[in-house]
Amino acid sequence: MAPTVGQWVSWIKGRDAARPFEAFQIEVTTRCNLKCVMCPVTVLAERWAQRDLPWDTFERVAEAFKRVKWVYLQGWGEPLLHRRVFDMIARAKSAGCRVGFTTNGTRLTRANGARLLDLGLDLMAVSIAGARAVTHEAIRVGSDFPKLVENLRGFLSLRRERGSAAPKVEVFYLMTPANLAELPHAVHLAAQIGADELVATNLDYVITPELDALRAYSGSPPAQACRAALDEAAAAARAAGMAFRPYRLQFR
């Protein structure tokens, strides 16, 4: 159920006057090293501009960081491709912001992971689209699923070695009709490697009519198979003691 007007008013009144903005989302690059089938980087490749956010532009935005709680370095590109992404994290942290980003995991090396831990990153989401290599790699084209799992496992191991609870690590699972049956298995995998939460997402930006077929559900009531997969995944998460957060099936 959507929030009432009264709930919105209470939320607005409860905001921190010193930091009235909940979050700034900043796309640091439009470049990506994958060709995910649903992404504008792939679908609009002939017209897509491959660019990095200039540092001076970032610094102009950063002047307002003292008014915001979260800085999320996320767009259509892969943030870890930007050569100054670590400087961006440091700049936002120095302004008292919490910082996060979403990654495809390809550049989550041990060295990069150590730098992220040193900087005090607060949140990292890693995108997957299946619990098996053949499924994930058919959607996130160019990805090496075993290597992705190895990278994520290594980062979480390093976090444990440091005795740190941060950053919170979320696994973002893009649900499609082709991979719904693997969602419970993805929960098991995420729990086994030590992730903090699995978020089951639906494709919410469709560029072409053909891509609408990739949605796990759209305007009509979702199929029973979708509800069953979500119920099974939720049960698996409870058994593993891991948080599970699915997108709503329908909005009223």
What pLDDT digit, counting tens, does each position of 3-24 carry? 676 655 565 555 666 778 899 9
**What's the CA gap between 197 and 112, in Å, rounded?**
22
- Topology, domain 19-246: TIM Barrel (3.20.20)
Q: Which of 218, 187, 212, 188 is nearest to 200 (CA)?
A: 187
| Residue pair 148/127 in contact by the 8 Å Cβ criterion | no
| Residue pair 122/162 in contact by the 8 Å Cβ criterion | no
Q: Which of 196, 231, 201 is nearest to 129 (CA)?
A: 201
Is 221 or 122 the better-scoring residue by pLDDT? 122
Answer whether residue 1 shows pLDDT above 50.
no
CA dihedral defined by 74, 107, 90, 50, rounded to 10 degrees? -50
Q: Give this prediction's pTM.
A: 0.87
**What's the CA gap between 102 and 96, in Å, rounded?**
20
What pLDDT does residue 252 have? 44
Q: Which of 89, 241, 104 is nearest to 166 (CA)?
A: 89
User: What letter would DSSP give residue 66?
Assistant: G
User: What's the chain's average pLDDT?
Assistant: 89
Amino acid at 168: K
Share of the chain above pLDDT 90, in %: 69
| Residue pair 41/48 in contact by the 8 Å Cβ criterion | yes
CB atoms within 10 A of CB 35: 14
What pLDDT does residue 226 have? 78
CB atoms within 10 A of CB 227: 13
| Residue pair 98/69 in contact by the 8 Å Cβ criterion | yes
| Residue pair 139/130 in contact by the 8 Å Cβ criterion | yes
Taking CA atoms, 179 is separated from 6, 37, 128, 184, in Å, by: 39, 14, 11, 10
Residue 7 — φ and ψ, nearest 5°? -70, -40
Tokens of 79: 């943030």
130: left (phi over 0), alpha (psi -120 to 50) or beta: left
What pLDDT does residue 91 have? 97
